[in-house]
Amino acid sequence: MATAGWTPEIAVARTVLTDVGLLEEKKWGKPCFSRDGNNIAILQPMKSFLAMMFFKGALLDDPQGLLESQGPNSRSAKRLTFTSVEEVNAAAEAIRHFVRSAIAVEDAGVQLPPAPAPTLIDELRTRLEADPQLKAAFEGLTPGRQREYNLFFGSAKQSATRAARVEKAVPNIRAGRGLRDR
């Protein structure tokens, strides 16, 4: 098993991605690959695997079902995972296929449908209804920040914990900051 650095696997994946015409840049501290200003894929070293995430993976042609969802709350991104150089080499043709499919999606201007409005957890909804200024501040956050707060609050098992999380976040919400913003 490789180390968390995944240096050899990244080198092989980088070669495959750049050989099909993608431009490599560092974004979010990771190797990101784009074409004509559109992000196509990013390499994400994880603890137990290297992920090659395709930004619009849900729209890609995947007849063999190789792409994996990033998690239960992921809408569009899908990934391939690798634990060895051999796995990256074995997937090289599939990677090229996904890149060509991603380029075709970008060239066609295909967009994902808008995310459905989240169903706010009871503790957050109740708190917002009781404070119109807080509600306005929450609604002023980006949809992603609203979603992140709602998921975080809702992940607590007990209502008291969910309510405490909401209260603790009130100053950040009023300041227009997301859950992880400082």
Both 93 and 126 in a single domain? no
**Residue 32 dihedral angles phi and psi, to the nearest 5°:** -120, 140
Both 84 and 146 in a single domain? no
- Angstrom CA distances, 140 to 114, 117, 122, stand at 17, 14, 20
Using the 3D structure, point to which of 56, 86, 108 is the last residue of a domain.
108
Using the 3D structure, point to which of 78, 108, 138 is the last residue of a domain.
108
Both 63 and 137 in a single domain? no
pLDDT reported for residue 75: 82
In the chain, the number of structural domains is: 2
Both 99 and 33 in a single domain? yes
Sole residue written with tokens 């696997």: 9
Using the 3D structure, point to which of 108, 138, 164 is the last residue of a domain.
108
Does any domain span residue 93?
yes
The model's pLDDT over 47-66, given as tens digits with 9 standing for 90+, comes to: 999 999 999 999 999 999 99
pLDDT, mean of residues 66-75? 87
The model's pLDDT over 122-170, given as tens digits with 9 standing for 90+, comes to: 999 999 999 999 999 999 999 889 999 999 999 999 999 999 999 999 9
Strands (E), 28-156: 30-35, 38-45, 50-54, 68-69, 78-82
What predicted TM-score, i.e. pTM, was given to this entire model?
A: 0.74
Specify the CATH number for the domain of residue 37: 3.90.1150
- Angstrom CA distances, 32 to 35, 79, 141, 172, 173, stand at 10, 13, 27, 30, 31
Is the pLDDT at 2 greater than 50? The verdict is no
What CA–CA distance (Å, rounded) separates 114 from 7? 36
For residue 84, what are the domain limits? 7-108
Both 19 and 102 in a single domain? yes
Both 103 and 23 in a single domain? yes
Neighbouring residues of 87: CB distance < 8 A, sequence distance ≥ 6: 9
CB atoms within 10 A of CB 67: 21
Is the pLDDT at 4 greater than 70? The verdict is no
**High-pLDDT (> 70) share of the chain, %:** 98
Both 17 and 79 in a single domain? yes
Both 90 and 126 in a single domain? no
Both 65 and 88 in a single domain? yes
What DSSP designation does 57 have?
G
What CA–CA distance (Å, rounded) separates 9 from 7? 6
Both 16 and 77 in a single domain? yes
